[in-house]
Structure 1
Amino acid sequence: MHSVTCRHYIKNNSMLFIAMCCSILAFSQTIDASKIKEHPRLLLLQDEEKLIRNNISKSPDWQKIHLAIITECNEILALPPVERKVIGRRLLAKSRESLRRIFFLSYAWRMTRELKYFRKCEEELLAVASFSDWNPSHFLDVGEMSLAVAIGYDWLYNDLSEASRKQISDALISKGIGPSLTENKDTWWLKGTNNWNQVCNTGVAFAAAAVYELQPQRSKEIIERSIKSIRLPMQVYSPDGNYPEGYSYWAYGTSYNVFMISMLETAFGSDYGLTGMPGFLKTPVYYEHMVGPSGKPFNYSDCGTGADGLQPAMLWFADKNNDPSLLWIEKQNVSKDRFLVKSNRLLPAAMVWGKNIDFEKVTRPTQRTWVGDGENPVALMHASWQSTWDLYVGFKGGTAGTSHAHMDIGSFVMDALGVRWSADLGMQGYEAMESKGLKIWDMVQNSDRWKVFRYNNFSHSTLTVNNALQHMKGRATIMKHSNDTTFMHAVMNLDEIYTGQLASARRGIAIVNKQYVTIRDEIETGDSACTIRWAMLTPASVADITKNQMLLQQQDGNKKLTFYVNGLPGDAVLKTWPTTPPNNYDEENPGTILVGFEITLPAHTKKEFNVFLMPGTKPIAVKKSSLKPLNEW
């Protein structure tokens, strides 16, 4: 993972952002230490278990989640303690497994008071406390382990022996807090603006709050520093709640940010102004709209292809905003038992933050479009939230020059008939590339990063000019958009993305009358002729193909979609390209192909074309409005 500093932020607002960063770095925060609670003080106070038990007794949904956690705890009981094993440069897998075990077990202990959970949790705590260190050279490992040990120590505190308390608290101080005290190459995240800041600051602040009585002055300074520092990445939510690193890293960075706020509220009775940071309480709408009716997220940047399952942070946001409609996707996750207990290490937080939530009162969202500015602008459009037959489009602008970005500018995903038609390959495991010597965090035009097939524009549903990479310092902006259900659309200016390749590039995507999707491109060549490839990545197979139309199908032919191009030049035909990995470090991409066409245009030529994605096989009359110039959209 890579540090993203002020210089990577929005080109047009760079001076403003730098000024905001400088203002935050000069910000002074003082906490009222006299208000600190007794143990347990982190997330769930003494006797608040009864609120969760009450929820469980009244709601089959909450009972399901609780039983899923307890059942998993019973499996954890039989496992040997986590061992210190570094993979490449990361201890992160072990930190995350420790967090999962300790959080689950300490929850089970507080809810059931069964000693087997206490003893196993204590065993896990003592095991990681005995590690030589928590790998500060990759500080995320320290951040996650600190959160794990702080919660376990605090939630078991009143029943731990003096010897266990000392061994665990000593580890929090020496292995969690200690490595963060010196500003060096390992603590760059203190001035960073991405998820590292959120995760590391939260973990260290939890450690400080957990051992507060043992070193009150230093703990106070650490927590105040964390409140000040975490404001830097919180700036990226302004103005609309957009998160530039995408869906998966929203779940990571934002969840830790919520943990930070929740800890401050329970331990000190105040969030010290963090909740009110511009755009922060708007961000759950972005996250909810990022999931299509296929159940898959818009997985741009380094994002997985699957949904995250039940997201605890969304319960916190729904409660803070008093908006049950934010939980429409989460309600479906609960009804389908998508708890992901083997990987969702934060799941007990759902029980904590959801103690005032009644899933029966969750309502369907009414907002069909979500458009967010910021470092990576996106437009997210639902024709309806009624069912899995909903049409859905996610459309991305922004830049490849930000944290975890791909050269996917102008790309889109599209769902219809309950499945995904235009897709994204998503992330690739970092260790596989790093072990081959690739410098994937060097964010420059000729970086090794752009040799990776999943990262460059050759694998995305976008335009490629003269078989060249997109211009990574460019940024695509949303020119206009509309939530009119007869022609729901967004238009992006891609000029900077093709600097030196095209004189002009515009792309608009619309859902027309809730029936079909159209993608319109308007391009102008520069001083030389160029070949333009229009491509869409799809998990579908091609059932039939003619000059300007192909029939795509999925699920053994039970789901079909017509791909039709209006404006294709006479010498161009539709074609497919394989997604076979071109390099030995690239991951396989089974079950996917690229579909589209190539055209060669002379210098100083304007050209436009519309691609139509029409669900089913029945002919749909193309509305004239679908063929209008983008300036008339």
Structure 2
Amino acid sequence: MKHAFSHALSWYRGEFTHNGEYNNINLVDNGSFSVAALAMLGDEEKVTQAGLEILRGSYRKLQNTLRFFTEDGSWPEGPHYWQYGTEFLFFKMAAMHRTLGTDYGLAELEGVKESGEYPLHLWGPGGFFNFYDSATPNVHPQTLWMADFYDQPHIAWYAGELTRRKGAFSPYYLLFYRPGMFDELPPSLDRTFTGIESISMRSGWTNLNDTFASVKGFNDTLLSHIDMDAGTFVFDALGERWATDLGMENYNLPGFWDYAGGQRWTYYRKGAQGQNVMIMNPESNPVFMQDYDARAPLVRSASKPRGAFGIIDLTERYPKDALSYRRGLMLTGDRQQLIVQDEFDLKSSSELYWFMHTEAHIEVLGSGQEAVLTQKDKKLYVKMLDAPEGAAFSEMMAQPLEGTPNPSGQTVNHGIRKLVVHMAGANRGRLSLWMVPLTEEAPLPEEVPEFRSLDDWSIPDGPMQERDRLPEVNSILVDGSALAGFDPQRTYYEWTVPYDQRSKVPEIGVVSDFDAAVIHAEGIPGKTYIDVTDPSNPGVRNRYTVALVPGPLIGDPPPGHRLPIQEVTASASPQASYGYTPDKTIDGDYETRWTSEGSHWIQYDLGENRKVGAVSIAFFSGETRRSYFTVTASTDGVHWNTVYPDGLSSGTTAQPEVFQFPEVTARFIRINGSGNTSNQWNNYTEVGIFRPMNGNGWGRGQ
């Protein structure tokens, strides 16, 4: 009891408080302590009395936090901390029902009972709407308990999809799963939530290619884990997320929790610039680009079979600049297209930036009124239906505007770009953007919908038009073996060809109940296409793509090609006390390493200028994740040239990977690391510097 209950009893007796008295940590603490207390009831009188005191105390403490559930089940900290906090809350409730036969009304509290709808409707084919400090896990055992307890199996649909498609599983599923609960479709395609002031809209629940859009406002008094993001949105279509949220940032950054003083908002992922929102006059509002705790209510919404929309009033978020400002999102075109529309009346002539973060390649067309975003074998056509004079699309990196704060230590937003609309001298206007998802080979649309102001938005009556079902293949074969991870609804795959086999194009085959034609790649890299048609409906075609990519060159070159290294240094070695120092990358031991967190370099001095054409890097855990880096070269250690930009390891091996670049004369070589696909750490076990390669072998050189 001393170790299990002492801190809990001190907390309940008022001997101390902590920073989680009101947020998700309250649910975690009270849920955890209650389950532990229930497990020990009856062991002996002293332990039982302590356990009862903990249970009573948990009900008093829970009142601080349960009040933040809204009547419709919304939670103010976003889906990540809904999952984290309610997991322990519902463990408590499940344990009490199991042991005592009651939870004394917790399960029937308004908002608690309804909250199962919250993660369900914030989830789409591209993942959760991960606003705020969010990296929402795919395992939600509490949802299974709620689906059974409340006899609402449909709320577990998303958990079933994550299990079916991603293999998400928790041992707790063995306790809470009931047959059939993963199989009942939710009754509604759309849902609004108060508090976060959001609407989520979709075209369906069963297909990876369904459309999904969600936008949020703000009406919150908890102010925990929030971003400066009122008006931000996500958009999924054709199996891709086109508008993305950047999610979490490093909690250990200086001033990360400083809301009122503003230091939190200087970090890109937390401030307005890192969201899919409009910013106004950034020169005069470099930090407080929105009023972070001001209301942004969902003022009007509609949902019918053929579409849905929501309109958020953002006026209070821009008190210095806006007389009025509203944003609307409409799922239109029988739920296959999206319109994002802003209408504003400003206090003075203003400079505006409209941002949408995306992993897609961006191409601006013509005079800048149209753009095409491309991901894998899909594209998104974006067109201005109405815009202020001079407005035009452009592309920016996911980083702060020049002249605004950009503190060190932030997460690098690898692979993320911004579709931008810049408007100068704007006073009153409307910006209406029409987004149309298309397959790679589809022509751009010629018919454009009529512009309508937000006040005139409506959804037509009648049923949603049925779409032709696309013919699918049962499996794809590569050199006679089934392609791992194949899903008939997913149409794009990458196949890595080993480096020493790249002269031979793999044979791609299919198993299909429909007619299928294979168009083979001519070389590597290259793409093989599979066109599938239904003889009973020949006008409808589905296309699968298998992209053939060359694998990494793995292993050390022949003896004698490695250049000698005289000295190795690094910009940081925060784990030097563990022995993780720069010199460990040239000791020939793959069990030792250099580490650093964030954007840092490791530098190799060759002692004199040499001709250099390649580096090799062995990445710690390189077979489980991919690492980001660049390589720069210098003759004097002062002036640097980038010789290998946008470096990305293969994620397939912990052995050395060789990265080649055009011949350069240099004495110093730097590898500039910026984390990996799992975290922000750089971990190199061995590094080599080599003279230039000649074709596919090692050439002669100095």
For the superposition of Structure 1 and Structure 2, which TM-score range results when normalised by the shorter chain? 0.5 to 0.7
Which runs of 5 or more structure 1 residues have no equivalent in the other structure? 1-168, 341-346
Question: 1:442 aligned to 245, 258, 261, which one?
Answer: 258
Letter in 2 for 1:291: W
Q: C-alpha displacement at 1:400, in angstroms? A: 8.1
Q: Does 1:326 align with 2:142?
A: no
Q: Does 1:268 align with 2:100?
A: yes
1:209 and 1:327 map into 2 onto residues whose CA distance is 27
Q: C-alpha displacement at 1:204, in angstroms? A: 2.1
1:220 and 1:422 map into 2 onto residues whose CA distance is 49
State the Cα deviation string for residues 360-396 of structure 1 (Å, max 9, x = none). 772222301110112x221111122241121110101
Question: 2:130 aligned to 299, 305, 309, which one?
Answer: 299
Would you tell me which structure has more strand in proportion to its own residues? 2
User: Counterpart of 1:572?
Assistant: 391
User: Counterpart of 1:630?
Assistant: 455
1:172 and 1:620 map into 2 onto residues whose CA distance is 68
Bigger CA radius of gyration: 2
Would you tell me which structure has more helix in proportion to its own residues? 1
Letter in 2 for 1:240: D
Secondary structure of residue in 2 paired with 1:237: coil
User: Counterpart of 2:342?
Assistant: 521
Letter in 2 for 1:324: P
Secondary structure of residue in 2 paired with 1:509: strand
Secondary structure of residue in 1 paired with 2:124: coil
Which runs of 5 or more structure 2 residues have no equivalent in the other structure? 401-405, 459-702
Letter in 1 for 2:259: M
Q: C-alpha displacement at 1:522, in angstroms? A: 0.6
Letter in 2 for 1:439: G
8 Å contact kept, 2:153–2:181: no
Q: Does 1:478 align with 2:298?
A: yes
1:495 and 1:187 map into 2 onto residues whose CA distance is 35
Matching of residues 113-512 of structure 1 within 5 Å: 169-174=1-6, 176-183=7-14, 186-187=17-18, 189=20, 192-213=21-42, 214=44, 215=46, 216-294=48-126, 296-304=127-135, 308-336=137-165, 338-339=167-168, 347-354=170-177, 357-359=178-180, 362-374=183-195, 376-398=196-218, 402-431=223-252, 433=253, 438-444=254-260, 446-467=261-282, 468=285, 469-512=289-332
Secondary structure of residue in 1 paired with 2:356: strand
Change (3 A) 1:415 1:361: closer
1:332 and 1:473 map into 2 onto residues whose CA distance is 35
2:19 and 2:251 map into 1 onto residues whose CA distance is 20
Q: C-alpha displacement at 1:241, in angstroms? A: 0.4
State the Cα deviation string for residues 153-175 of structure 1 (Å, max 9, x = none). xxxxxxxxxxxxxxxx432133x
State the Cα deviation string for residues 272-309 of structure 1 (Å, max 9, x = none). 00011102121111211111112x110000001xx522
Q: Does 1:601 align with 2:425?
A: yes
Secondary structure of residue in 1 paired with 2:31: helix
Letter in 2 for 1:323: Q
Q: C-alpha displacement at 1:548, in angstroms? A: 0.6
Q: State how many pairs are aligned.
A: 438
Q: Does 1:589 align with 2:413?
A: yes
1:184 and 1:173 map into 2 onto residues whose CA distance is 14
1:335 and 1:561 map into 2 onto residues whose CA distance is 27
Secondary structure of residue in 2 paired with 1:233: helix
User: Counterpart of 1:612?
Assistant: 434
2:335 and 2:166 map into 1 onto residues whose CA distance is 30
Secondary structure of residue in 2 paired with 1:483: strand
Letter in 1 for 2:22: T
User: Counterpart of 2:371?
Assistant: 550
2:96 and 2:249 map into 1 onto residues whose CA distance is 35
Change (3 A) 1:620 1:224: farther
Q: C-alpha displacement at 1:188, in angstroms? A: 5.5
RMSD value over aligned CA atoms?
Answer: 2.0
8 Å contact kept, 2:160–2:182: no
8 Å contact kept, 1:400–1:409: no
1:353 and 1:378 map into 2 onto residues whose CA distance is 30
Secondary structure of residue in 1 paired with 2:107: coil
1:620 and 1:279 map into 2 onto residues whose CA distance is 46
8 Å contact kept, 1:440–1:447: no
Q: C-alpha displacement at 1:182, in angstroms? A: 4.5
Percent identical: 24
1:274 and 1:453 map into 2 onto residues whose CA distance is 39
Letter in 2 for 1:549: E
2:62 and 2:301 map into 1 onto residues whose CA distance is 32
Letter in 2 for 1:351: L
1:519 and 1:442 map into 2 onto residues whose CA distance is 32
Secondary structure of residue in 1 paired with 2:57: helix
2:298 and 2:220 map into 1 onto residues whose CA distance is 16
8 Å contact kept, 2:125–2:209: yes
Letter in 2 for 1:590: H
2:414 and 2:19 map into 1 onto residues whose CA distance is 38
State the Cα deviation string for residues 517-538 of structure 1 (Å, max 9, x = none). 0011110011x22111111111
1:188 and 1:536 map into 2 onto residues whose CA distance is 34
Secondary structure of residue in 2 paired with 1:336: helix
By relative contact order (CA 8 Å, sep 6+), the higher-ranking structure is 1
8 Å contact kept, 2:211–2:238: yes
Query: Higher mean Cα deviation, 608-617 or 449-458?
Result: 608-617
Query: Higher mean Cα deviation, 591-600 or 395-404?
Result: 395-404
8 Å contact kept, 1:610–1:627: no
1:257 and 1:620 map into 2 onto residues whose CA distance is 53
1:315 and 1:231 map into 2 onto residues whose CA distance is 24
Query: Higher mean Cα deviation, 499-508 or 215-224?
Result: 215-224
1:472 and 1:543 map into 2 onto residues whose CA distance is 33
1:539 and 1:337 map into 2 onto residues whose CA distance is 21
Letter in 1 for 2:390: D
Q: C-alpha displacement at 1:232, in angstroms? A: 3.0
Letter in 1 for 2:435: L
State the Cα deviation string for residues 48-105 of structure 1 (Å, max 9, x = none). xxxxxxxxxxxxxxxxxxxxxxxxxxxxxxxxxxxxxxxxxxxxxxxxxxxxxxxxxx
1:607 and 1:523 map into 2 onto residues whose CA distance is 6
8 Å contact kept, 1:310–1:338: no
Query: Higher mean Cα deviation, 577-586 or 323-332?
Result: 577-586
